[in-house]
Amino acid sequence: MLKPLRKTVEWHPKPGQSERDLLKKYAGKDGRYCDPDFPCDEASLFGDRDPPEDHIPYANVLWLRPDAYVVGGTPCVFVDEATPGEVVQGKLGDCWFLSALSCVASRRDLLENLFASTEFASKGIYTIRFYKNGKWKHVTIDDRIPCGPTGKPLYGTCRDPRQIWVSLLEKAYAKINGRSYQNLVSGTMTYALKDLTGGDPQVVNLLDPQTADECNNGFL
């Protein structure tokens, strides 16, 4: 189960602060955005938790941008159709979030709605929206993704390696939920679906005889 509501996290963009403002202030030597609130360090992976026993040593972790790890084409948020089958889990116990993301991927309009801005994608900056505490909130991230020593992303990815929407959404969700990937370990699909859609998910017990009859009769 997901922990009780976590401590409120302050993140960029601050009110009235645009991606252009962030780029001017936090661009690296190559001109691409480096998120000061979710840096490439051990805390962004594990927070205040101990690393999982099966996790590679942090010394072997590489933070890479998509153009450094994508093979077989040019990286892009979406390539052709985004489908539920594109979501692939990595070495992180966030199947509850990725399962919800797979459901959302069956509706391209809902999936695209999560990307509030890709205007400066070439500069490595994206703004994602999630429905938190009763309203849509924006969280801006850079596109540096934790990878293993071979250059393969450690966590969630798309089956088509050219697509990066899964990795970006997972990173943004980690940032808004306590600024670490390990904060995403264990949760519920209903929690994630609400954050991804703003809706009010309902749990249906398919083993209940009445529910089974309603399904068989086309009422559900």
The domains of the chain are located at 19-216
Q: Does the pLDDT of residue 117 top 80, yes or no?
A: yes
Q: Which helix (H) or strand (E) holds 141?
A: strand 135-142
- Hey, how many other C-beta atoms are within 10 angstroms of the C-beta on 116? 17
Find how far residue 63's CA is from the centre of its chain: 16
Averaged pLDDT for residues 143-157 = 97
Averaged pLDDT for residues 142-171 = 96
Mean predicted lDDT score pLDDT of the chain: 89
Separation between Cα atoms, residue 212 and residue 219, nearest integer Å? 10
CB 173 within 8 A of CB 97: yes
Separation between Cα atoms, residue 106 and residue 126, nearest integer Å? 22
pLDDT band at 72 (very low <50, low <70, confident <90, very high): confident
Catalytic residue numbers, as ranges: 95
Separation between Cα atoms, residue 137 and residue 182, nearest integer Å? 21
pLDDT band at 50 (very low <50, low <70, confident <90, very high): confident
**pTM score of the predicted model:** 0.88
Separation between Cα atoms, residue 207 and residue 209, nearest integer Å? 6
pLDDT band at 216 (very low <50, low <70, confident <90, very high): confident
Q: Does the pLDDT of residue 219 top 80, yes or no?
A: no
pLDDT band at 8 (very low <50, low <70, confident <90, very high): very low
Strand, helix or coil for residue 111: helix
Q: Does the pLDDT of residue 44 top 80, yes or no?
A: yes
pLDDT at 3: 40
Q: Does the pLDDT of residue 7 top 50, yes or no?
A: no
Reference 196, options 218, 216, 169, 215; nearest CA is: 169
Separation between Cα atoms, residue 72 and residue 192, nearest integer Å? 31
pLDDT at 189: 93
